[in-house]
Structure 1
Amino acid sequence: MDTDSAPTGELSPAPARPDSAATPGVLSAAPGGPHGDSLFEQLLDAAPDATVGVDQAGSIVFVNAQALRLFGYRREELLGEPIEILVPDDMTRAHRDLRKKYAAAATHRAMGSGNPLHARRKDGSVFPAEISLSGLQAGTGLIVSAAVRDISDRLHAEAERARLREEAERAKLQNQLQHTQRIESLGQLAGGIAHDFNNLLAVIINYAEFVTDTTAGHLPAGGDAEPWIADVNRDGQQILRAARRGADLTRQLLAFARQDVTRPEILVVADAVHQIEDMLRRVLGEHILLVTRLPGGCGPVLLDPGQFEQVLVNLAVNARDAMPDGGTLTIDTASVLADADYVSQCPQIRPGEYTRLRVSDTGTGMPREVIDRVFEPFFTTKAPGQGTGLGLAMVYGIVTAAGGTVGIYSERGLGTTISIMLPVTDRRPAPRTEADVAEPDMQGHGETVLLVEDEPALRQVCRRLLVAAGYRVLTADDSTAALDLARRQPDGGIDLLLTDVIMPHLLGTTLAEQVTALHPGIRVLFMSGYATPVLAARGTLDPAVRLLEKPFTRDQLRSAVHRALR
């Protein structure tokens, strides 16, 4: 039987001596021996483990029935043989040395429970074993009793359990990967849809404003206007409300797809929760108790404050709907250090310091099949017309775009907990200037704007709004026409390039570079409903880039143009 490290592996520790034959008077179990019918032999054969006795010379002096079955020998084939007959060939020399070392202190010793030893059968096969040694003092000297147990079945079972655990973990990781890939694919689709929707919504919103503004001018205070004027005004207001709701939906789609524009700021999560706590209580209603546990010491994070508010409001609304008969919503924060051990349990997170935000409700909870899909866009368990299925999708998009992770734990009848991990930043907030908070002048003063938009209806809307605001407007339907106009204008003849980002032939960013080369002092304002090409890493907007997000209103357009020109 082999060993992995000294002094394990020996069946007998006794030093060698010239006579190696078994002595009948030394606990011999041989048939016909003086003790062949002894009580000792009967007890030995009843033992569950294979037992072999070895004298000081290393010769086998007794074996039990279980040992004969385990090793495949007859009793007479083993008695008097050196113990190394049961040891693999490559371990016999080391085994002899270890026997001699053991003889100096022949105490009880169990071996092979950690790294198994090995023993050899008569047919030459080797099997893993655990061996327990005990020293016995007989009339002729030291006898070492070795209890040998074949652990092949146990090791096989352990290996099978390890294989099953590995397969389960691999299947879990594969499911996580497939889920992530499905979410990413849906995000790409959502981004493309949102771009076209935002162009259409920008047209609808502004033409609806034209209608409501015009009809409002014919609605006297006394109410003596023609009835149809009031009807048209109300219709325009309904169109505006529907269009703005559509704009909110596309904004949620882009947030999920991580393709919306973020303007991150240094944010202390506990402070941000406190600022909107009253609003959350109004959202939840009086039948739900809001509890906040916001200890100090959590590091600041880099996140768009408006998006953080959207995250909390959406989670609060979901929790409220899960507690129709009332309950408790708890919001708590904590600092978490994601070290190597933490990352090994949560491979989707990177090492570092995080602020954890948890939102827990005592509502109805969710089954596993729902949990697996809650972050998918348009997936909802609510009745038709009661939910868009974009709330948690938007939460997922906002948090992951900020470099964080979102986890969910839920059980039927026990409520739901959403855990958000946001990486702590070492940046510090920049001081705000008076210009940052001043109200912009909404009126132009004859400045020339080169407007580039490939959607005809939106181009016409923008031109109409800018002319009414006091600007001189040059229009182009694509980048080629825009470059031609820019070349024909004198140096300094264009004050602002207002261009869409996604256009045929050239992106708006490339067009801006070429127009700026022709007119070095020109200002640039991008407008887009799908702004990925002008965004920096993680969907943030470079401070040097000015962007007007579609769909926009009249006032938003005029304000953005004024700020770009100042």
Structure 2
Amino acid sequence: MGCRAPGRRPDVVIDEETRPLVRAPHAGDAYVSRAFEWLLDGCPLPAMLVRADGTAVRANPRWLAAFDAGGWRGCFPTLALEGGAGADDDAPRALGEHVAALGAATGRRYACELVPVDGAAALLVARGTGEALEVDQDARFDARFRELIEQFPAAIIVHRNGRFLYANPAAVRYLGYSSPAELDGLPITTAVHPNEVAEIQSRVAFMARTGLPVPERETRLVRRDGTEVLAELGAFVIDRERNPAFVVIARDITARKQLEEQVRHGRRMEAIGRLAGGIAHDFNNHLAVILNYAEFLVEALVSDPQNQRDAREIRHAAQRAAALTQQLLMFSRGDLSETETLDVNVVVEGMLEFLRRTLGADVELVTTVGRGIPSIRAARQHIEQILVNLAVNARDATPSGGELRVETGAIVVSEVNQLLHPNVAPGRYVLIEVADNGRGMSPEVASRAFEPFFTTKPDGKGTGLGLSTVYGIVTHAGGDVEVETELGRGTTVRILWPASEAVVPAASRSDAGTAEEGRRTETVLLVEDDAAVRALVARMLSREGFRVIEAIDAVEALNMVDDDQPELDLLVTDVIMPRMTGPELAIALQASYPELPMVFMSGYADDVLEHHDVQSAAVTFLPKPFSARELRDKIEVARSRAAARGF
């Protein structure tokens, strides 16, 4: 209705003599009269209750503010209540436009209206002409008090001696009943969650003792069918001295709280992702050093098998650690693996044998691939990682055997069904559904399923990065992960991946070959702020025959180029560095070296490449940690790309 509780009560009040004028015409509704006063005070229009003889009974705060508490005759000298305020006709009567003569509203024109309450009283309502009507026309403050309460959009409940006395239609619907009669006389605790009863009783006792209203508070209520809803309750006491009753105003905030929880969850996941990505970045620098110096030891200890085995174990442990940090990067959205146009069905079918081996003989793998589904843009290893992680989770959820079902298809999200998929924009999506008939998850576990390192498996049996990795990969691509699970009934994970209009290219043979030995005398500018990593990469490049110019950051690299103007054949640079990033360095060098191949290396790129004007076709990204062979391969890719663009 647009009416709400006022900040202060007016000085004009209803006394005992005039109180019957505003009571409900039904015997059981006497306690609602104070609720009418409350609603009158909250009406957004100036309004005054008058007797049949025209005597003013009560003015709301809007009237007092506009007309300085003046009576209606002084406010509108030319206004006449034709036919009397207590006419039997229930229809509102327009009284024409009148110019205000009192208070702050002096000189303003008002359209006045008389709204009968009963045969003894009526409401005089004034609305400034030219002002927008502040309440809905159909539910306007245009009928007597019972209609006001019963049309009020929030639930209004009156209870006395701990039992329901009155409930408006909104309250009846909200609590899941069919009619007010079903609530009449029921204990008020019937609709209150057991854990909230003590607090409700305390608030009632406070109002009965002091006569003061209680502020709004979030409270769990229980509907007739047993479902819980969250409401914001405010309350005040009426007739405290004689036979106190309590008026409760309840607003359903269940949907709002669910939305707030979604926002908090998204922010929490983003914060965790940033933390994970930062840790992975620093950790990968250390792993790069450990891995490659272990590799150097393996090569140097050919004549010492025992120590060579020890060096291999060091390398193997570092490789396992690198795999974990790679999953952290996928979750934190810092992984910049190269994408391609893929047919999801081809990827799934290519993984079937591996998935069967992963699941073991006790879990049956059933696949259903959709036909005619669109392609997607993705890194193949990311889709494979999703399938493997979900298969491993399914295997662990079915220790006594079971079934894993993998299906692919297509879905269109539109305004019609977006409520079912609230986390993605309207459009076409490729659907990958992985379902098992295992143990399932409780709501508490499911709510934390995407958090990294959260696991219900025994110590040493899981890293807690499976679903968080899936979440990071999919959401970074603009898709969503939907989980449907129930204890004892299994779990279904649905991947919605944005569809692509591109056509999957035909398989082609790679023509990357071994570079000519004569090209290994070229000069490379190496830029890396971590001294240990810089020394390592310089050694790798030197072993490949390059002449290496080292710089501790991009600013020093530019100074070297400006001073010496060397002939450069390749740039190998870190992405995130103090003072200037690797992409910014690349842009600065392109003016002097337009044909320069570039290799960007980083443990965590944080999407820096995506936010700078560096053309991806000329840039090759090398994730840390990497081996000498991977560095060599990326250099060849960078050269091929630069040549293809005619740089």
Task: With the length of structure 1 as denominator, give the TM-score of the two structures.
Answer: 0.70
Distance in 1, Cα, partners of 2:604 & 2:390:
26
Distance in 2, Cα, partners of 1:179 & 1:513:
38
Q: Which amino acid aligns with 1:389?
A: G
Distance in 2, Cα, partners of 1:541 & 1:321:
44
Question: What is the match of residue 185 of structure 2?
Answer: none
Question: What is the match of residue 196 of structure 1?
Answer: 282
C-alpha displacement of 1:85: 6.6
C-alpha offsets along residues 502-554 of structure 1, whole Å, 9 cap, x if unaligned?
Answer: 1222111122222333333322221111113543279x993332111110001
Distance in 2, Cα, partners of 1:349 & 1:501:
30
Q: Which amino acid aligns with 2:274?
A: Q
The runs of 4+ residues in structure 1 deviating greater than 6 Å are 160-163
C-alpha offsets along residues 405-460 of structure 1, whole Å, 9 cap, x if unaligned?
Answer: 001111111111111111211122456765x4434438553111111112122111
Return the match for 2:633 from 552, 559, 563.
559
Question: What SS does structure 1 have at the residue aligned with 2:537?
Answer: helix
Unaligned runs of 5+ in 1: 1-65, 73-83, 93-117, 130-150, 219-228
Distance in 2, Cα, partners of 1:421 & 1:253:
21
Question: What is the match of residue 243 of structure 2?
Answer: none
Distance in 2, Cα, partners of 1:402 & 1:431:
24
Instruction: Report the identity percentage.
Output: 39
Q: Which amino acid aligns with 2:168?
A: D
Maintained 8 Å contact 2:618/2:638: no
1:243 and 2:243 matched: no
1:214 and 2:281 matched: no
C-alpha displacement of 1:127: 2.9
Structure 2 counterparts to residues 3-42 of structure 1, below 5 A: none
C-alpha offsets along residues 453-495 of structure 1, whole Å, 9 cap, x if unaligned?
Answer: 121221111121111112111112222332233234456x111
Are the structure 2 counterparts of residues 236 and 87 from structure 1 closer, same or farther at C-alpha, using a change threshold of 3 Å?
farther
Distance in 2, Cα, partners of 1:505 & 1:537:
17
Question: What is the match of residue 76 of structure 2?
Answer: none
1:90 and 2:92 matched: yes
Distance in 1, Cα, partners of 2:316 & 2:262:
39
Question: What SS does structure 2 have at the residue aligned with 1:208?
Answer: helix
C-alpha displacement of 1:555: 0.3
Say which one has the larger Rg.
1
Maintained 8 Å contact 2:474/2:480: yes
Unaligned runs of 5+ in 2: 1-23, 31-85, 95-114, 122-143, 149-165, 177-228, 232-250, 641-647
Are the structure 2 counterparts of residues 271 and 338 from structure 1 closer, same or farther at C-alpha, using a change threshold of 3 Å?
same
Q: Structure with the greater relative contact order (CA < 8 A, sep ≥ 6): 1 or 2?
A: 1
C-alpha offsets along residues 92-132 of structure 1, whole Å, 9 cap, x if unaligned?
Answer: 9xxxxxxxxxxxxxxxxxxxxxxxxx995455544349xxx
Distance in 2, Cα, partners of 1:563 & 1:154:
71
Structure 2 counterparts to residues 97-496 of structure 1, below 5 A: 121-122=118-119, 124=121, 125-128=144-147, 153-158=168-173, 164=231, 166-216=252-302, 218=303, 229-430=304-505, 436-441=510-515, 444-490=519-565, 493-496=567-570
Distance in 1, Cα, partners of 2:623 & 2:494:
30
Question: What SS does structure 2 have at the residue aligned with 1:518?
Answer: coil
Distance in 2, Cα, partners of 1:542 & 1:494:
20
C-alpha offsets along residues 28-54 of structure 1, whole Å, 9 cap, x if unaligned?
Answer: xxxxxxxxxxxxxxxxxxxxxxxxxxx
Question: What SS does structure 2 have at the residue aligned with 1:546?
Answer: strand
Size of the alignment, in residue pairs? 432
Maintained 8 Å contact 1:315/1:359: yes
Are the structure 2 counterparts of residues 175 and 190 from structure 1 closer, same or farther at C-alpha, using a change threshold of 3 Å?
same
C-alpha displacement of 1:170: 1.1
Are the structure 2 counterparts of residues 292 and 417 from structure 1 closer, same or farther at C-alpha, using a change threshold of 3 Å?
same
Question: What is the match of residue 138 of structure 1?
Answer: none
Maintained 8 Å contact 1:442/1:562: no
Question: What is the match of residue 508 of structure 1?
Answer: 582
Return the match for 2:572 from 495, 498, 503.
498
Moved more, 270-279 or 282-291: 270-279
Question: What SS does structure 2 have at the residue aligned with 1:88?
Answer: coil
C-alpha displacement of 1:188: 0.6
Maintained 8 Å contact 1:453/1:476: yes
Maintained 8 Å contact 2:525/2:571: yes
Distance in 2, Cα, partners of 1:290 & 1:361:
10
C-alpha displacement of 1:333: 2.0
